[in-house]
Amino acid sequence: MLHDTAALWFAFIVIGLATTLPRSSFFMAPKKYQPSQHSYALLKYAPISALTAIIIPDVLYVDQTVQLLNPKILAALCTVLTILITRNPWLPFIIGTSALILLQSRL
Amino acid sequence: MRDYTPPAIGLLPWATATGMAMHGAGLSFAESMGMSIIVYGATAQLGTLPLLVSGASYWLIFCTALILNLRFLIFSATLSPVFSGTRRRVRCLAGYLMSDGVMAAFSARLLAEPDKDKRLGLYFGPSLMNWVIWQLFTVIGILAGASLPGHWPIGFLATISLLTLTTPMVSNMPMAAAAAVTAAVLIVLHTLPFRLGFLLAIIAGMLAGYVVEQYSRKDRHAA
């Protein structure tokens, strides 16, 4: 898809729609349509689930195969620890990337 | 405006990293900016990058972006009284500009403000500032990404951005359950075709969070 410019721009529009539609949904909808208590409770867990599902393959796959112990997982753990310890917004990026570079050159 | 400075600062590394990640994924400057302006959503952009790189189908890209953006349904429902009685165009623009930062910093004041014009100013002022800062630091990120040596793991910045978002989310049992179940189902089902495992894992995670929440509520009532 990256080599087909038209397909890529079409994908941007698809992603843009999937972003702007939920954002405008209840601004545009008639007043009587409001989400129920149960759907609120379910929707709350959508972001964490979707993000986990994106992160896991990112850190588990090395050259298309699953590796449970690899530099990316260890660097991700360093990143999580940094996030838990400090509130500085830049440090996770600095420490995570440094950890990955170090680990990749060692292993 | 001054009240919006702290959330805006949190935006800077995010925008920079997103710019670098788009460059790292192989997008040109124009394509990266196009994506940034059309989509204008960090999670949707970062989350769909791996799918664009692997050439996933449009429906999977759409579904993934939609799931990543489901939280905006809640924001939209919460803020809908703020825009009652405004033009359609205004509400459309308000939707496009919606951001986590403005929502977190201003939703209470927005809902409490009785004057319509002040309300709109209170929403659009910080929201436009958010947009400009976002695009500006995306540009910086793309340029910085282009100047880094090729062997640097730029793609990992996207993972780090997503980790900075998810780690604070896992603050209670239902959230932890949702994350753990998603990860477990994903690993078990990773051989299924068409990324079915991916969508099933997300659905399983959402249900797990919901079920654990219901159970912990019952426990509290029983105690």
Q: Where are the domains of chain B?
A: 2-154, 170-223
Q: How confident is the model at residue A10 (pLDDT cuts 50, 70, 90)?
A: very high
Tell whether A21 and A45 lie within a shared domain: no
Lowest mean pLDDT among A17-26, A36-45, B27-36: A36-45
Name the residue among B23, B7, B30 with its Cα closest to residue B134: B7
Tell whether A2 and A44 lie within a shared domain: no
Tell whether A102 and A73 lie within a shared domain: yes
pLDDT for A107 equals 62
pLDDT digits (tens, 9 = 90+) for A68-78: 889 999 999 99
Tell whether A47 and A95 lie within a shared domain: yes
Inter-chain CB pairs, A–B, below 8 Å: 266
Over 80: is that where the pLDDT of B4 sits? Answer: no
Over 70: is that where the pLDDT of B193 sits? Answer: no
Higher pLDDT pick, B189 / B158: B189
Whole-number Å distance between alpha carbons of B52 and A4 = 11
The domain of A107 spans: 38-107
Q: How confident is the model at residue A1 (pLDDT cuts 50, 70, 90)?
A: confident
> Which residue of A3, A17, A49 to mutate against B (max B Cβ within 10 Å)?
A49
Q: How confident is the model at residue A90 (pLDDT cuts 50, 70, 90)?
A: confident
CA distance B223 to chain A (A): 22
Give the dihedral sign, CA B183/B185/B188/B192: negative
Average confidence score pLDDT of chain B: 88
pLDDT digits (tens, 9 = 90+) for B40-98: 998 899 989 988 998 989 999 999 899 889 888 878 888 888 998 899 999 999 999 99
Name the residue among B43, B208, B172 with its Cα closest to residue A47: B43
Q: Which residue of A has its CA nearest to B160?
A: A93
Whole-number Å distance between alpha carbons of B136 and B33 = 10
Lowest mean pLDDT among A10-14, B91-95, B194-198: B194-198
pLDDT for A13 equals 96
Lowest mean pLDDT among B5-14, B93-102, B115-124: B5-14
pLDDT for B1 equals 56
CA distance A65 to chain B (A): 10
Higher pLDDT pick, A58 / A79: A79
> Which residues of chain B make contact with A47, given a CB cutoff of 8 A?
43, 68, 70-71, 169
Q: How confident is the model at residue B221 (pLDDT cuts 50, 70, 90)?
A: low
Q: Which residue of B has its CA nearest to A6?
A: B31
pLDDT for B212 equals 95
When divided into structural domains, chain A yields a total of 2
pLDDT digits (tens, 9 = 90+) for B141-186: 999 988 887 677 777 888 888 888 788 889 899 999 999 999 999 9
Tell whether A63 and A17 lie within a shared domain: no
Helices (H), chain B: 5-25, 29-39, 42-54, 58-68, 71-79, 88-97, 100-112, 116-147, 155-169, 173-188, 196-222
Over 80: is that where the pLDDT of B195 sits? Answer: no
Whole-number Å distance between alpha carbons of A106 and B5 = 41
Please enumerate, as own/partner, the contacts of B118-124 that have beta carbons within 8 Å and a separation of 24 or more: B119/B82, B120/B83, B120/B86, B120/B90, B123/B79, B123/B82, B123/B94, B124/B93, B124/B94, B124/B97
pLDDT for A9 equals 96
Whole-complex ipTM: 0.82
